[in-house]
Amino acid sequence: MATNDVVLETLTEKIQRQDRFIAELQAELQRARQASVDTMLGQLRLREAVLLYVGNDADNFTQQLAETFGSEVARAVSASLFVLDNAPVPPEVREVIREATNHGMNRW
């Protein structure tokens, strides 16, 4: 029985080390994503490009971003995102813009 206890303890320690290593890698990936997003958004702003969300549910969009990429990435994108529904234009003009962009499928 002593041998089984030693093997069990060794395997448990190895699993715990692997779990810590995985957690560190996930944190590093999140930091890399954040840095990459910040860099990309900064480059877009330098080139006077804007991100325009033409959908009808911007809150759902940012929630999906947070679920997929994390809250920090969602925050960075949201800070650089213009939402068409918040534009100071009549609703008819918003619909024309949505149609002109093919609801986000075309770009100019």
Instruction: Spell out the per-residue pLDDT of the chain, length 108, in tens.
Output: 688 888 899 999 999 999 999 999 999 988 888 788 888 888 888 888 888 899 888 889 989 989 988 888 888 888 888 999 999 999 999 999 999 988 888 776
At residue 96, the pLDDT reads 93
Dist CA 9 CA 30 (whole Å): 32
pLDDT of residue 14: 96
Token duo for residue 20: 């810590």
Q: Which residue blocks in 1-90 are alpha helix, DSSP H?
A: 2-46, 58-69, 71-80
* Residue 1, pLDDT score: 67
Q: State the burial class of residue 37 (Cβ atoms within 10 Å of its Cβ: 0-12, 13-18, 19+).
A: buried
HSE (side-chain half, CA atoms, 13 Å) at 85: 7
42 vs 48: CA distance, rounded Å: 10
